[in-house]
């Protein structure tokens, strides 16, 4: 049986390179893997940002990804990490798809769970006046505490060096949806395919509470076909060492169950 293609969607400040090790077993299992860079996410932090990026809405990312999904020739499994997990849901509402894999998913406007941890993680970003309409980077202190907590120092340093500019508007739409048009609201009634949700128990930016709310909403839409995993001791950053191997195993096992 022909296996569905997989559309990989990276998160904030990231590029498709975060999936370099994950995509190998997916391709070896017979899936065509497509991992596009989001608009303006090919510009490293060492270069000035594209001016248009700061005011770019998440709807522009979704439109771009809908077009990318249309190139695959068959309904894909849509796999996203962090902001990419939210984008995966928004794209899936608009395109035929075989299933959803959400790694540390960002919360939709209607899948929020209260926690002060994301605010502490992003505090230094949000203290800069006008951040909501400018290109921005994550700061080292916040990233160390809330994104890469528990991650080995060499991995942390490499990921900080590899970060790219992100849209302040997109962060604002995710963090304060009611103030920015609720454009991150997901129509869960339209998500009827199986889903896999994975989150670290120590995730401090897209918290386990948000992942649980997302899984509950998905189970309401697709009759309960949601596989949920909370990895003990893991943080937001799942792409290293034994944690990454565990994630790859869970994803591979879940893909094998798709009809």
pLDDT in tens, 242-254: 999 999 999 999 9
Beta strand spans in 49-208 (E): 77-81, 99-103, 135-136, 166-167, 195-200
pLDDT of the residue at 223? 55
Q: Can you give the pTM of this predicted structure?
A: 0.97
Burial class (CB in 10 A: 0-12, 13-18, 19+), 162: middle
| Chain mean position to CA 178 | 21
pLDDT of the residue at 224? 58
- List the CATH code of the domain at 6-256: 3.40.50.1820
pLDDT of the residue at 222? 57
- Give pLDDT tens digits for 167-197: 999 999 999 999 999 999 999 999 999 999 9
Low-confidence ranges of the chain (pLDDT < 50): none
pLDDT of the residue at 181? 96
């Amino acid at each position: 049986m022909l296996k569905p293609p997989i559309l990989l969607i990276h998160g904030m400040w990231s590029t498709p390179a975060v999936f370099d090790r994950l995509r190998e077993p997916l391709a070896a299992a017979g899936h065509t893997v497509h991992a596009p860079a989001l608009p303006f996410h090919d510009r490293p932090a060492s270069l000035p940002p594209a001016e248009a990026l700061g005011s770019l809405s998440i709807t522009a990312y979704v439109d771009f990804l809908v077009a990318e999904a249309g190139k695959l020739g068959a309904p894909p499994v849509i796999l996203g990490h962090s902001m990419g997990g939210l984008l995966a849901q928004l794209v899936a509402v608009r395109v035929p798809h075989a299933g959803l894999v959400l790694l540390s998913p960002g919360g939709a406007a209607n899948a929020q769970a209260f926690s002060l941890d994301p605010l502490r993680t992003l505090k230094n970003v949000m203290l800069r006046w006008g951040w909501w309409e400018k290109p921005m980077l994550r700061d080292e202190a916040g990233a160390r505490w809330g994104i890469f907590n528990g991650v080995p120092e060499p991995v942390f340093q490499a990921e900080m060096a590899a970060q790219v500019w992100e849209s302040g508007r997109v962060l604002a739409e995710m963090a304060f949806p009611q103030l920015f048009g609720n454009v991150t609201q997901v129509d869960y009634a339209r998500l009827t395919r199986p889903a896999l949700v994975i989150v670290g128990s120590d995730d401090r930016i897209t918290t386990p509470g948000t992942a649980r709310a997302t899984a509950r909403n998905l189970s309401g839409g697709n009759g309960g076909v949601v596989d949920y995993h909370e990895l003990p001791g893991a943080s937001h950053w799942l792409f290293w060492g034994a944690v990454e191997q565990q994630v790859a195993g869970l994803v591979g096992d879940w893909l094998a169950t798709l009809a």
